[in-house]
Structure 1
């Protein structure tokens, strides 16, 4: 039964989620890069270069096992998920920028995810037994099929039948929520005997990685002169990794439930931590607004 879920249902469900992402994207989302080149460039460099390096350092600093370290690197390579858009909306970020970053990351992930995972498999040499395998060429094609093709099809539907795409938006978002819960439950149930040990082993790493991702995603753009709303959007896009994608690729493409454990633990940690971070940013924004002099006061 588990093999049916991991090899058939999960890839199909994830394809639906990625198609739903495509339904929300238009060519204008990609063209918007030209209007915000600084924040897009900074965000992509942070997500694609800095965060995998940070994650690599965390795995060494906390002494993670090769399997958990490889799972953490898979998580670090995964782009931001649609949950980033929700958090950005709730905490006054630039949601349009989130959509743009998600669109670009969905394309780039086809190359970056296999590259980072292949490096992690080569470096950490995790013992996956008969349950896991490396990323052969056929597996790279599967990553392409699961990530990019559904997004492209969704965008095509949005372009040719915008009304139909709008009607599908709400049910697809519901499916996305169900899929995340399903993937987490499958990973947790499959490794339920060892879950306490896994959480003890990788929980701190997932928490530190989540906090660093959020902090770097906000403060680095701010330090480079990016506006507050755009920095908030960047923080959520960089900090809220697509745990669903990471877990599904681990259990299907890589054939190992154990590689999905870090992403499963991260998914349970990320929601409350990201919500608390967003609340802190909102409080800070309110404090800055209160401290700023009114136009009349500035004229005196």
Structure 2
């Protein structure tokens, strides 16, 4: 069946997308900084994602910075019908692998305007606050997001790396359509957030979905399951995520067409109850 086997998810204020997306962070240079080593390869993987049925792509103004959004636009604009691109702002970049939360209202507004320009659209499909800035009142950060939505600059709004309480705080200002937290086989610190999102029908977008640490070592649980199912470890990790919650929207990122194709094939992998229990135990 291909990617369709993963099913679909309804994102509030945005609509329906397939439940396996593509994360466009890695089409930049080392340290998520500067241009990719092979620009044509970066464009090829973006094209292939759409050709293979991906209709949700995740990016951010800080990836590069600016590089990921620009490559997406250069490669895909005018965008195919049904393709949704989610972007983020709220982290300044001071160098490779350096990330500094910055949530002042005028900065977030500026970055939305710049993302609109780079992506070549009049309205962003999904805009997420990349990090809550502890130095800025949340009312200022959430307030400008609500303003941008009312002004038609963005369709749907989301958050990244937040607690349940922070999601509930944001809900006083706007409809939270998505939450993007770190979550994978061995990192379940956001389990309560996932449960809340599942109950409230908020899309949960796990970042670092393939990072399972020592569980992937030869003879480890993930390796054993993968060999038994004649699948890759990445496919096992993604299949587990897809079966974890109907609101789960994994966005595995890669700069390789071969790895992209492998990841998307996880949609066809169904894990039995015994396998799920063994993988659940890793957390």
TM-score range, shorter chain: under 0.3
Higher relative contact order (CA 8 A, sep 6+): 1
Determine which structure has more spread, i.e. the larger CA radius of gyration.
Answer: 1
Q: Which has more helix, going by share of residues?
A: 1
Per the normalisation by structure 1, the TM-score is: 0.24
Q: Which has more strand, going by share of residues?
A: 2
